[in-house]
Amino acid sequence: MELLIVILFAVVITLFAGVKIVPQGEEWIVERLGKYRATLKPGLNIIIPFMDTIREKVSTRDIILDIPEQEVITKDNAVIVTNAVAFVRVTSPKDAIYGVENFRYAIQNLVMTTLRSIIGEMKLDEALSNRESIKNRLKEQIIDDAADWGVTVKSVEIQDITPSSSMQEAMEQQAAAERERRAIETKAEGAKNAMILESQGKLESAKLEASAQIALSEASAQAIKNVSEAIEDKELPTMFLLGDRYINTLEKMSASPNSKFVIYPADLQAAIKGMMGSVLGKRE
């Protein structure tokens, strides 16, 4: 009787060991005597106890793989730091377990090496501004290799692409030098324009002064002519105008702070006649 109870208990335990309930979102790999036998789907499954064993419980839900941060050298020898995140799903648990030793680690390294290769073909500005293009190329290049391991790559997102700390410092120095260069150019351009305007002002002033002198000379000549015609004497009006100018000039000289003495000729009339003679001689 006791033996029967023991046998019965052993049978129940054996039957219980042969019944496997797989939860939704998982698939189990079963090996028989060390060799792959089957993949258990979600629900109630029966295996042969002591001969069949559960090799691995594989999740068939989306898996989030964090791609570690790494330094990458661009085509123009700039160093940037980048990291990513991959969203994958196991579609063939058998290939995921037997196709590669650790599919998670394999995909992480595959993404890292492919990312280095893609960015290495770009210049710094292209790498920083073409994140979407990098993401699409990355997914295209790893999707076939991941499929051989029974994994479907749903998406790869580039989390961050930034220049390294040393590269950022160099870029800041370059930007500062560029700003200083532009400031010097702007200052030089302003000084040049100021000099041009000043020269133009002096030129216009000289032109106006020359025009004024010409107009004054013409007015004086006309005045002498009018006076001469009025009094029918060419010498007297000329002496009057020249004497008036001579006296005005001497007054201006005496008003100058640099002038110390102003000497009037003893015979002013003779001096004016002398000037008239020289002027008339030149005209003849």
Tally of CA atoms within 13 A in the half-sphere of 194 that contains its CB: 6
139-148 tens-digit pLDDT: 999 999 899 9
Q: What is the pLDDT of residue 252?
A: 63
Q: What is the pLDDT of residue 280?
A: 44
Ranges of the chain with pLDDT below 50: 266, 279-284
Q: What is the pLDDT of residue 192?
A: 84
Q: What is the pLDDT of residue 90?
A: 94
Look at residues 172, 99, 82 and name the one whose alpha carbon lies nearest to residue 134: 82
Whole-angstrom distance, CA of residue 170 vs CA of residue 178: 12
Q: What is the pLDDT of residue 183?
A: 76
240-250 tens-digit pLDDT: 565 666 666 66
Q: What is the pTM of this model?
A: 0.56
211: its two tokens: 């025009």
Q: What is the pLDDT of residue 98?
A: 92
